[in-house]
Chains A and B, each alone.
Chain A
């Protein structure tokens, strides 16, 4: 209340200005620029689950906040469920979402790429040459591949040995390669060390590729070469593999699974102990926060972005918040559900901070569905709270689906997974 009075006295509006402002406000028409300016300007970079959700949540929390979403693409292609596209069980179009409803919620779309951030001047420079000033910046840029992270794995190599870890053309390339492979071919998946986008993703992918091979190319074999000894929902996946996919072999780090280099010319995947010549090689490489995080000086030496556990404000730059896969979120995994949950908490914190109020201590939930075959799904869930500056698991909560759940429970979770995808994409994109 006091804030609004101050605003009006500070701007010494003319009588005519008051009348206009009152008319606009009472009719619930778009508010005058002066009111919007006073509520604050937020720029969100990145139109994925985190960024689109944050932009929409901010407008919902306080329509007077000016929100600009910087995103070059007209269409977002979702990673969750893209493993079904690879296995030929789903169309890529079902993964794609536009920004019309984001714009309709009052968010200004800036169809460009952020090329620089000036934290002192509080401005973002776009590839189209324009500059956006902000009171608070929300970076939700997602991941970049570390092209220097695996010898031989260059951008050109990804055209031969797709990563398919950013959904779109890469997803379709891997699908086409599997479809055109001769029966009896060797498929190799390389899984990276932690942390990376979607921890159960490589294993869901292995399961669904194995499902495809079992039905269409039963003489083929699938090897997962892993840079880890343990992974998300491990026992659930391994039990399903034992039951359904005898041609799927997982090679752990301690069994020599770490891929040390790749040779795209011959589609050879190399470890310290073996050379695997693949018919199809899916290299899921090491990753880092996308480039704008580095340019904004919010990424640390790990390549990811440390943030405050209450507001997700960068620990390295004031007034810049980082959410989604790019951020270090303690115990919270890099998932679409996490990104959306963080976005809503971040939006509430940003709205409070812009209003000069203190954000509440948040609680966050994550839920990740994995599908290993039709009617066969399971989950990992967690509840998180800030403790000593990082998000930690709330003790006694969370965990994975029961190891001995009946088939009906697996079928129920597969059907909830479908529902979840529709809900989370509606949350983010309208």
Chain B
């Protein structure tokens, strides 16, 4: 029954890989952020990296961009396109991104 064990191991490994691959699946809107906010280190840009940032900070910033409390050149126009729930989901996903 060695085959059975190996099979189970192979299947489990693939399932685990599959799960981790799917966790990269971004909530609606999140994939667009890295058009301006560098997803990888080593890009020199005045625009902040968001990967690995605290989710609550991102939500607060987006809320304040939307209400006009926080000054910005462009994020007010973008933040207004997302509901609180959408913003929270995007922020949680960004916070979970390593690089």
Complex Cα gap A383–B33 (Å) = 11
Complex Cα gap A351–B26 (Å) = 12
- Chain B residues within 8 Å of A193, by CB: none
A273 within 8 A of B: no
- Chain A residues within 8 Å of B28, by CB: 360-363
A365 within 8 A of B: yes
Partner of A341, one of B24, B27, B35, B43: B35
Taken residue by residue from 391 to 421, chain A's Cβ proximity to chain B (1 for < 8 Å, 0 otherwise) reads as 0001011110100010001001101101110
A348 within 8 A of B: yes
Contact, CB under 8 Å: B80 / A397: yes
- Chain A residues within 8 Å of B21, by CB: 61-64
Complex Cα gap A413–B27 (Å) = 28
- Chain A residues within 8 Å of B18, by CB: 1, 4, 62
* Shortest distance from the beta carbon of A10 to any chain B beta carbon, whole Å: 13
Contact, CB under 8 Å: A398 / B81: yes
Complex Cα gap A5–B86 (Å) = 34
Contact, CB under 8 Å: A365 / B81: yes
A379 within 8 A of B: yes
Complex Cα gap A363–B40 (Å) = 22
Taken residue by residue from 14 to 33, chain B's Cβ proximity to chain A (1 for < 8 Å, 0 otherwise) reads as 11011001101111110111
What total of A-B pairs shows CB separation below 8 Å? 160
* Shortest distance from the beta carbon of B4 to any chain A beta carbon, whole Å: 9
- Chain B residues within 8 Å of A63, by CB: 17, 21
Contact, CB under 8 Å: A18 / B7: yes
CB closest chain-B residue, reference A28: B17
A181 within 8 A of B: no
Contact, CB under 8 Å: A423 / B32: no
Number of interface residues of B (CB under 8 A): 45
Complex Cα gap A393–B43 (Å) = 30
CB closest chain-A residue, reference B39: A427
Contact, CB under 8 Å: A397 / B77: yes
CB closest chain-A residue, reference B45: A419
> Contacts A363-B86, A426-B40 known; A381 to B74 CB distance under 8 Å?
yes
* Shortest distance from the beta carbon of A228 to any chain B beta carbon, whole Å: 23
Partner of A61, one of B25, B40, B86: B25
- Chain B residues within 8 Å of A424, by CB: 35-36
Q: Which of A18, A62, A340, A427 has the most CB atoms of chain B within a 10 A radius of its CB?
A: A18
A254 within 8 A of B: no
Contact, CB under 8 Å: B35 / A4: no
Complex Cα gap A57–B47 (Å) = 22
* Shortest distance from the beta carbon of A408 to any chain B beta carbon, whole Å: 10
Partner of B81, one of A18, A383, A401, A412: A383
- Chain B residues within 8 Å of A22, by CB: 6-7, 9-10, 13
Instruction: List 4 extra interface pairs beyond A363-B28, A381-B77, A383-B82, CB under 8 A.
Output: A15-B6, A364-B29, A383-B78, A426-B42
Interface residues of B (CB under 8 A from A): 2-3, 6-7, 9-11, 13-15, 17-18, 21-22, 24-29, 31-40, 42-47, 73-74, 77-82, 86
16 contacts between A and B (CB under 8 A): A5-B11, A8-B7, A22-B9, A61-B22, A363-B28, A364-B29, A365-B29, A365-B33, A367-B78, A397-B82, A420-B45, A420-B47, A422-B38, A423-B34, A423-B36, A424-B35
Query: Which 9 A-B pairs have CB atoms at the shortest separation, nearest pair first?
Result: A383-B81, A419-B45, A397-B81, A363-B29, A365-B32, A344-B31, A22-B10, A363-B28, A394-B81
